[in-house]
Chain A
Amino acid sequence: MESKTALQDKVSFGFWVYLMSDCVLFAGLFATYAVLYTSTYGNASIQTIVDLPFVVIETLILLTSSFTVGLALLAAERGKKIAHIHRAHLRPLALATPFFLMELSEFARLVAQGSGPSHSAFLSIFFTLLGTHGLLTSSSAQYGCWF
């Protein structure tokens, strides 16, 4: 019979393995992007589709959400009331929603202007890279709400 701490160590280790496998996944996607970002096949290139102010807002939302995660964890470690921790943890998860919606609206804008993922190798990897990140963000936010 395993002791409880040994089991928890295993779970934490498994989580790190998962995190590193995610790292490898994104490394592959970034490498593919680096190879393909000039292959626009006469369609939209990164210069024409980038909307920097829009992306800066997305970035700020995500950074704020990461900051609130830190605050929530501090609250948990200091043994604050459950309701307080619950509220503190819902903030970063709530911030994931506008981020995800903004990402979806960017995708919708690109598809509407005829730059969908099927139009060039660059657009394929652009949608894949951002889509993978967006999917992980939204699904982990939902998972975080329930577990």
Chain B
Amino acid sequence: MAHVLWKGLSEGTTRKLLLMSLFWHFLDIIWIFIFTFVYLFGAL
């Protein structure tokens, strides 16, 4: 985010944002798996 503030929105910074969001969604998917298999199956 600091890069976007300093350098503005260029092809490079937009790509960085894209990769960042990709990783964020990936972590979210992992959490859904943890929630389902660890907590939900554990509680039932």
Quick one: CB contact mask for A35-49 with B, threshold 8 Å, 1 for yes?
A: 001000000001100
Is A3 on the interface with B (CB-CB < 8 A)? Answer: no
Count of CB-CB pairs between chains A and B under 8 Å: 109
Q: Which residue of B lies closest to A33 (CB)?
A: B38
Are B42 and A85 in touch, CB under 8 angstroms?
A: no
Question: Which one, A46, A79, A133, contacts B27 given CB within 8 A?
Answer: A133
- In the complex, what distance in Å separates the CA atom of A37 from the CA atom of B38? 9
Is A108 on the interface with B (CB-CB < 8 A)? Answer: no
Chain A interface mostly: helix
B41 to chain A, nearest CB (A): 8
Number of interface residues of B (CB under 8 A): 36
Most chain B CB atoms below 10 A, which of A69, A130, A136:
A69
A5 to chain B, nearest CB (A): 9
The residues of B with any CB-CB pair to A shorter than 8 Å are 1-5, 8-9, 11-12, 14-28, 30-35, 37-40, 42-43
Those 9 A-B pairs whose CB atoms lie nearest each other, nearest first: A46-B42, A66-B28, A69-B21, A50-B43, A55-B39, A69-B24, A50-B42, A146-B2, A15-B19
16 contacts between A and B (CB under 8 A): A8-B11, A15-B23, A19-B22, A26-B33, A46-B39, A46-B43, A55-B39, A73-B17, A73-B21, A90-B1, A129-B34, A129-B38, A140-B23, A140-B24, A144-B24, A146-B1
